[in-house]
């Protein structure tokens, strides 16, 4: 069967593209290699979490005031919780709670970090975040802020992260949780907007310069022919060469892919076995002051949305150091740090419910993309249409709206790619009609 557009990947970018094409009356199909929709938005509601849910990947609708998925959720009556309004913070310095003065020093350090990185982002030469903030190294809180902004938020090693890319993607605004799980929202409220989705349909090759135009997409069940193709898989999958392109992709596109490696954010969920909440309120962030730059680190969020689990977040180089190891290694690391934060008694009453594996999953090979120093325009390049718009990439890695690394940004990128394809198809149809005139 022939389609107007074939879309590779049923994450938020693919679903956004399909929904936009469907609204325009175009015939599209989404091909998904796995047996579920949502991509890196996946809610775990298994027995491991009792009556609670756990988002293994994306957890928040960030920058809610400009996030395109918020009005969709609100229109559907989906329950949302502003986690920022309920959050608390406990920071440990050495073996004690940070004082009020130290918390104020941390806040001031955050402001200095923002000021310095903003100034460097405006310079003519891009640099790494670590190099940009070198003048702040004498500040005892700099390593903590750097770890938070780079490893935890951008999921990247600050020594490898473009300061321009960091500054470009500051997620300012509210952060909303979907009460039933963000992955659940994607599956039940976004996927139905997309039209035809074929699961268990990995794509092995895309032939994008066929005689007479059009695209041919090879799958285990045969070749699908379309007038255009939107590819939404991660840059990790693209860099590995899991999908072949005939002809090969242009050198500048390959270079952009290489300049946008995947960062990693690994989560570990530790579930309480009794009613003891260790004196911690819901949405309580737990962290330690990082004493040395680039030191292995993990932060925690206790009882999100009132659930009975504590979630640990390992980002960037710390997360990659555990990727490929047995889950028990991550578990041991998390418990050691948690014991120093809330005591041994808490550790004994928590069981491990999940350790995520985005870094080794061959369908993703990471959590979300970041730009290397000198590649701050790689997202723009990767988003450029090829073959007069017949082939185009979309996904959070191509976001140029400041929402890179988020489901909202992925949705936007998919819809933007769909608009590009739609315009191309409209031009070609108009040209074909003119050619038939006497």
Q: What is the DSSP string of 361-428?
A: -TTTSSSEE-PPTT-TTHHHHHTS-BGGGTEEE-SGGG--SS-TTSHHHHHHHHHHHHHHHHHHHHHH
Backbone angles phi, psi at 280, to 5 degrees: -100, 130
Residue-wise pLDDT tens for the chain (438 aa)?
A: 689 999 999 999 999 999 999 999 999 999 999 999 999 999 998 878 888 899 999 999 999 999 999 999 999 999 999 988 888 999 999 989 999 999 999 999 999 999 999 999 999 899 999 999 999 999 999 999 999 999 999 999 999 999 999 999 999 999 999 999 999 999 999 999 999 999 999 999 999 987 678 899 999 999 999 999 999 999 999 999 999 999 999 999 999 999 999 999 999 999 998 888 888 999 999 999 999 999 999 999 999 988 999 999 999 999 999 999 999 999 999 999 999 898 887 778 899 999 999 999 999 999 999 999 999 999 999 999 999 899 999 999 999 999 999 999 999 999 999 999 999 998 876 554 444 445
Quote the CA–CA distance of 46 and 269 in Å, as a whole number: 13
Is the Cβ–Cβ distance between 20 and 232 less than 8 Å?
A: no
Quote the CA–CA distance of 246 and 117 in Å, as a whole number: 41
Quote the CA–CA distance of 290 and 315 in Å, as a whole number: 14
Distances (CA, A) of 381 to 15, 122, 160, 238: 22, 20, 19, 15
Quote the CA–CA distance of 411 and 419 in Å, as a whole number: 13
What 3-state class would DSSP assign to 252? helix
Element (H, E) at 15: helix 12-23
What 3-state class would DSSP assign to 350? strand
pLDDT digits (tens, 9 = 90+) for 162-214: 999 999 999 999 999 999 999 999 999 999 999 999 999 999 999 998 767 88
Q: How far is CA 30 from the centre of its chain?
A: 20
Quote the CA–CA distance of 216 and 2 in Å, as a whole number: 10
The reported pTM is 0.94
Q: How far is CA 385 from the centre of its chain?
A: 22
Distances (CA, A) of 257 to 100, 262, 374: 45, 10, 13
Backbone angles phi, psi at 301, to 5 degrees: -125, 115
Show the tokens assigned to 317: 């180089």
Q: How many CB atoms lie within 10 A of CB 360?
A: 12
Q: How far is CA 159 from the centre of its chain?
A: 20
Is the Cβ–Cβ distance between 165 and 117 less than 8 Å?
A: no
β-pairing, 96-97 vs 205-207, is unpaired
For 184, how many CA atoms within 13 A lie in the half-sphere containing its CB? Answer: 16
């Amino acid at each position: 069967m022939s389609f107007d557009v074939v879309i590779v990947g049923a994450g938020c970018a693919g679903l956004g593209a399909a929904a936009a094409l469907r609204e325009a009356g175009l015939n599209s199909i989404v091909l998904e290699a796995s047996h579920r929709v949502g991509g890196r938005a996946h809610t775990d509601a298994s027995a491991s979490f009792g009556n609670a849910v756990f988002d293994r990947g994306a957890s928040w609708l960030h920058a809610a005031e400009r996030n395109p998925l918020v009005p969709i959720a609100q229109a559907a009556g989906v329950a949302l919780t502003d986690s920022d309004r309920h959050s608390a913070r406990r920071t440990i310095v050495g073996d004690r709670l940070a004082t009020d003065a130290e918390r104020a020093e941390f806040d001031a350090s955050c402001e200095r970090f923002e000021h310095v990185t903003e100034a460097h982002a405006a310079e003519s030469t891009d640099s790494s975040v670590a190099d940009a903030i070198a003048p702040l190294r004498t500040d005892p809180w700099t390593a903590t802020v750097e770890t938070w902004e780079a490893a935890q938020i951008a999921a990247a090693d600050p020594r490898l992260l473009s300061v321009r890319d960091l500054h470009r993607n500051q997620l300012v605004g509210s952060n909303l949780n979907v009460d039933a799980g963000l992955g659940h929202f994607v599956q039940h409220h976004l996927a139905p907007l997309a039209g035809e989705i074929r699961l268990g349909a990995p794509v092995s090759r895309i032939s994008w310069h066929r005689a007479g135009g059009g695209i041919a997409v090879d799958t285990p069940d045969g070749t699908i022919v379309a007038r255009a193709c939107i590819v939404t898989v991660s840059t990790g999958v693209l860099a590995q060469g899991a999908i072949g392109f005939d002809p090969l992709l242009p050198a500048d596109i390959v270079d952009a892919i290489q300049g946008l490696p995947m960062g990693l954010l690994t989560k570990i969920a530790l579930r309480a076995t009794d009613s003891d909440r260790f004196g911690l309120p819901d949405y309580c962030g737990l962290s330690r002051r990082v004493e040395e730059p680039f030191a292995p680190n993990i932060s925690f969020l206790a009882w999100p949305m009132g659930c009975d689990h504590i979630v640990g977040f390992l980002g960037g180089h710390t997360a990659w150091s555990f990727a490929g190891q047995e889950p028990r290694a991550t578990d041991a690391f998390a418990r050691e740090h948690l014991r120093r934060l809330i005591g041994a008694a808490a550790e004994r009453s928590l069981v491990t419910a999940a350790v995520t594996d985005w870094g080794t999953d061959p369908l993703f090979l990471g959590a979300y993309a970041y730009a290397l120093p000198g590649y701050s325009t790689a997202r723009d390049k990767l988003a450029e249409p090829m073959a007069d718009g017949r082939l185009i990439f979309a996904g959070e890695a191509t976001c140029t709206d400041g929402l890179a690394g988020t489901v909202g940004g992925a949705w936007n990128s998919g819809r933007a790619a769909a608009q590009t394809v739609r315009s191309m198809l409209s031009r070609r149809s108009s040209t074909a009609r003119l050619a038939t005139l006497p």
